[in-house]
Amino acid sequence: MNGSPLHNFLLAGLTGIVIAVDQVTKLYIMQTMRLHESIPIIENYFSLTYIRNPGAAFGLLAGSSNTFRMVFFGLTSLFALGLLGTILVRMPARDVMGRLSVAGILGGAIGNLIDRMRYGEVIDFLDVYIEQYHWPAFNVADSAITVGVIFLIVHFAFEKKDDPPLASETTAAP
């Protein structure tokens, strides 16, 4: 892996913290709430609502068979984890923001994969809405993935690239 052992340890630590916080919060929700129970935190805007999502983001594929979902999500998760690991290893050590973003995304992906392996579905509980208009419920892993992707997009959008040398600079004089 690129970077110093301390830097790599911090990246692994961030990934581990995301996984731990995700799993602890989901366990807490499962132990203290009934399925579909909702506790308003900010009236008409935010509640803790315990749901289980057998599908992908926004409930996609929720109606598919359990076998199809397990194979599909298993394979796509392994592919995504391999891709994220490869990106992380190949990123230059000096790209701290990029590496932190990928480490957060990786932690979120692993957190949701753990749910799929343990329960066959993902535990969601963060319910954001305005009056009766609800955003799909999500969890800490989803939040880490979203924040990581946003930071990565912003980082790459504003990343200063070294300008390529001008043609006149690359040709040697005879």
pLDDT tens-digit map of 21-77: 999 999 999 999 999 999 999 999 999 999 998 866 656 666 666 777 777 777 888
Amino acid code (one letter) for 43: E
pLDDT at res. 54: 83
Distance CA 110, CA 81 (A): 8
Specify whether the CB–CB gap between 52 and 122 falls below 8 A: yes
Count other C-beta atoms under 10 Å from residue 48's C-beta: 18
Q: How far does the chain reach from its first CA to its final CA, in angstroms?
A: 43
- Structure confidence by residue, pLDDT tens digits, 99-145: 999 999 999 999 999 998 899 899 999 999 998 898 999 999 999 99
Neighbours of 78 (CB within 10 A): 11
Report which DSSP code applies to 17. H
Q: How far is it, in rounded angstroms, from Cα 1 to Cα 33?
A: 42
- Burial class of 67 by CB neighbour count within 10 A (0 to 12, 13 to 18, 19+): exposed
Residue with tokens 């799909």: 136
Distance of CA 26 to the CA centre of its chain: 15
Catalytic residues: 124, 142
